[in-house]
Each structure stands twice: as structure tokens, then as C-alpha cells.
Amino acid sequence: MRKLTNGLIRVGEAAVLAGQIVRVLPRPRLYLDSALQQAYLMGIQSLPLVLIMAFLGGAVTSQQTGAQFAGGLPLWVIGSVLAASVITELGPVLTGIVMMARVGAAIAAELASMKVTEQIDALVAMGRDPVAFLVVPRVVGGLIAFPPLVILANAMGLAAGYFIALLVVDGMTSADLIYGMRFYFRTWALIFSVLKGAVFGFAITFIACFVGLSGSGGAEGVGRTTTNAVVATTIALMVLDVLLVPVLKAF
């Protein structure tokens, strides 16, 4: 019963924080500059790792698809499976995993450190709103940075899968791959991929901020808070990935 009560309290606290974020959003002068700076830190500096993960994901997908379908189905099907896998799943999810590990953990550790060293209390004492000053820029920065990263990850994954398939799949031609990709491609699939990136961006940054602001217990508490943030964002990422599937099917 106590765990259930604590869980409900945490949900209520998260709802309060979400309401405070919504309250600040109509006043961009309070956070826009910081949000753009955060978007740069999240996006540009994370881009190499995102592209590496997307390249590996696309390469593995094309090889596994070629091995499974060799001799059983037309070769152009490999292009369709590659496009479907990368655009709707691998691009957004791999980007989310990278950003969860790199950005989510960093946000949680930074805010937890500020909490245990009473820097957030100092902001309140100076009349500054911690939500507007610390939370909203990171959440908005995530919403700005994640969709472009997903688009670039999709492009890298498709390019990697294309070239690897030509190298390792017997009989594969550029015409087969391009035909398969075009056969699958739908505008809504690309929109869905970008939408999923935006949802992941919000979830990762919001959860990391919420958990980080709950930090306590000195240096040990900061480490514990960072771990909790990574676990929470991992679970949220997978749950959201499942919940968003009906959105793709609806269109």
C-alpha cells in the first residue's frame, strides 16, 4: 500500500511539473535563448553518435533481411523491409536510446547536483522560477533537437542498408532496392517517424528533469538519481514505442 501511495504521489508531482511547464510556454522570452542553446548541445554534439548507431542499425537490418529472404522472396522485398524498419522503428528508437543515455543522464545528474548543493533553492531565493530557468529550456530544446536527428538517422540508416545490401546480398541490384523502398514508402510513415522523435524528445527530457529535481543525499544521491532517470526513460521509451504503433496503423 505504501508503494502504491508513493507511486501516486510521484504521478501527482509529475502532473504538477507538467502544468508548470505549460504555464511558462506562452512566455518564450523567459526560455527561448536557453532552449536554443540546449538544442545545440543535445543535437549537434550528439549527431556523430546518432549517425554511427543509425549506420550500424541499417547495415544489420539489410544483412539479416537478405539472409532470411534469400531464395524465398523477390529481392526487392529487402528494400521494402529496410525502409519500413528504419523509418518507423530503428531511426526513432536508436536516436532515443542514444539521447536517453547521453542527454537524459546528463540532465538528471546536472539537476540533481544543483538540488543537493542548494543551487535551486538559491534561484528561488533570488526570485527566479526554477521551472522556467532550468526545466522548460531543456524540454523545449529536446522538442527542437530530436525530430531533425531522427530524419538524419533515417537517411543514414537507409544509405547504410542500401550499400551493405549491394555488397553482401547475392544478385541484389540498385534497381531492386530502390523499387522496394519506393513500394513501401508513404508520406505518413515519415511524418510518423518525426512525430515519434518529438514524443521521445519530450518524454526523455521531461522525465530526466523530473527525476533530477527529486535528487537528494549528496554525491551518492546524484549517482542514484542518474541511474533512476536512465531506468525510467528506458521504460518510458519502450512503452511509448508500443503505444504509438496504433497511430501508424490508423493512417
Question: Which tens digit of pLDDT belongs to each residue from 135-163?
Answer: 999 999 999 999 999 999 999 999 999 99
pLDDT for 71 equals: 67
The pTM of this model reads 0.89
Contact 139, 31 (CB under 8 A): no
Instruction: Check residue 218 and give left, alpha or beta (phi > 0: left; psi -120 to 50: alpha).
Output: left
Q: Is the pLDDT of residue 73 over 70?
A: yes
Q: What is the mean pLDDT of residues 9-37?
A: 88
Of the pLDDT bands very low, low, confident and very high (cuts 50, 70, 90), residue 251 is low
Tell me what percent of the residues of the chain surpass a pLDDT of 70: 98
Handedness of CA 25, 26, 29, 32 (dihedral sign): positive
Distances (CA, A) of 173 to 54, 61, 180, 182: 22, 17, 11, 14
Residue whose entry in the numeric block shows the C-alpha cell 504521478: 11
Question: Which tens digit of pLDDT belongs to each residue from 209-222?
Answer: 999 888 777 777 78
Of the pLDDT bands very low, low, confident and very high (cuts 50, 70, 90), residue 58 is very high
Q: What is the mean pLDDT of residues 116-122?
A: 83
Instruction: Check residue 186 and give left, alpha or beta (phi > 0: left; psi -120 to 50: alpha).
Output: beta
Tell me if residue 237 falls in helix, strand or coil.
helix
Q: Is the pLDDT of residue 69 over 80?
A: no
